[in-house]
Structure 1
């Protein structure tokens, strides 16, 4: 039957729709074929099954029988459409017959026509062309015409998929002009919009220096910099050699903006110190980088056999650590006269570990057990000086030498010195130390700067009045580092040595004045060392307890180094 309906002309299909609807409404047949939209040929046909009554029999009802109201017809048609699109519970299905329906070649539809009956099934009968007739086509009943209009309207798409009327379809959403503009460039794809709305985040990249690289060329090719920008950056950087004197394999980090131009550079001098360069509106800004390391304590133990310095190095101490240890002990210990073979010592050292490297070593505590001297000292965090466990300072209140290291005494204090040319007495009221120009000069004790000036004979000079009433003078300087009125503490750098004024060579002329009279700085009795008292002593002793415990136990919880094989006799220098 479906093949027959599908093969009929369009006009015949419309004529058959009222008959199919009549069969559905009256309940005498169970098969009704509905076309969703005869205008839309691309959509498939929907077949609707309608249950029959128990007393139903084959046959075509008369057009004169009573008609169901149009509203009922629409409801039944809607239910039939739903049955083709949605799940129908099994409990709502009723027993029905399956009947093949064939149509006669010609039918009359007037008031006096007898009821139509179905012919015997003849599936092979073709009904694609109407039979010719000499009579005028009869006029359809008005009721049938009305139902045909209703069903035709339903078939043309009046019902949507939910069987709801769409003839009065509308929209209640107000769309503004701004929202419409969002779709001017086409539909919005959510993933692309999210990706486009994410802010640009510059990433750090690393550049490794290759043979033949120069920063000027690299900056233009990889950092988007012009030649003038490169020159301006080098002038701004405190250490331009980091970029102008490259080593193959060294590296630095950089950030680029969306246009591929440099935003920042990060260069390290070593594992701890470096520089961060950032682009600014008027050029570049430079900030220093200082990485913090993990403080680690190490305990070294050794025995003197030969020189103290070589015995200390045999324990694993670095050259820098041995140098600091020697400066600490030499304030109380004469290494040539007081050390003896077999003397034992322990050194507690703290350093910062960064990327597996030890940096900024600091001697925390020292214990020396010798034939001629026993000494234990601990560093005090408050002033960075060393004290005994009883709070006695290892540093004198007034240092004998105003510098670190050892320099040759080129001219002694001599009030009866003769002038080499005139032969007359020309007193030398200070002590001269031959040293290279630019050597740091330190304050020997706490005090206040009294004068900073320049004299034709003395050159650049400084005068400091100390808290104990003593006064010191420093002549022939290349550069003062303090100004009049500044407060200085023992060990502060106050100047750089030079060769200014009447001088025969680079040196430091150093004077000590007691009651405004020059005295021999190498022999004058200096103030005794100061000691901690009261709360300061208690605080120091509490802080020193764990360091003294490490010396007593021989362990620190980290690394312990010791040596039992001292250097050979031929390495001994005392």
Structure 2
């Protein structure tokens, strides 16, 4: 045998280099295939069938074979309504559950906007079939939509221009469209006042509607906590309102100035529908995409329409699961305030963070919590160590992002980012600032 091996080696070495490389590569591929798909010989007696053994799995064993094995289906996750502590702003300016507003940005398409909420591509295609203009969204236009409890699109509203609004209502598997064209006259109104008690009550006394108050709070949500304004703080708001027969039909916030602690805060709307400060810098605090220092494998994706393979019922998966080793630091993806840090049923040890007034993130199944309710955290700060607590069949981190009390896909959602205007856009904006700022006077 040794002589045969030496003879083969000598013959191999005498081959040209190109032939040696080809022969060696073929040998490696052959070995790889044999390992990947090994042949198993089952001896049988002539004339008899091979023995086949059936193995029955119970429901729990079946689940361990699914992609969602790290996240048991139908588990009792805490509701966001339990997470967010209510205050006078939430009570006096309620947001409609299941409804979301979105301002079209550069590069947005109807599918890219709606996909992050798990809206079915079939519905998106039906919308475009009903109105081909939806293929050409413009920067600064506003979309609003309403979802059912199981994440199905019920209604979409498209503000195509200041005067025209198109609405698409579900009708079976398709949508019916309607359009409303306003004929009123747009007027600018400056409303100002002084904080006495809550900001909401003070703004309402100054003549702002609930919707207008909500717009002001959203515009300045990253600059201040409206719950901490003090008596004597002042505000001035420039609203553009469409008037018809002496009544306001719709309105749009053009700019706001709020003075607290002797310091002025501004938010002025640009042509792209977003708000910036007086120098053209963005107001939003940037978010990280992932809650860990590096990206880990996704073991279960966001899926609001997920079906339980055993019961057949819809069991939404409202976040993303990352398969990460026990004890991995879990990081806050953005600046915010910890509103929950506790152990709770299926979620195990989990943390919820509120970012501004519209955004919330949740981190579940952790081994250890490193923060407590009321803590202010910065982007990238540790909030816990990953684990396997609660109803979990394997070490992982369940991560959720909520916008306006609606779960979105953390991997595709348009998250706040640090941005600013440049070039001609900035020059046009600064010209607008020079026009708007003098109007934001206090009484």
TM-score category of the 2 structures, normalised to the smaller one: 0.3 to 0.5
The structure with higher relative contact order (CA 8 Å, sep 6+) is 2
Larger Rg belongs to: 1
TM norm structure 1? 0.29
Report the structure, 1 or 2, having the larger strand content: 2
Q: TM-score, normalised by structure 2?
A: 0.37
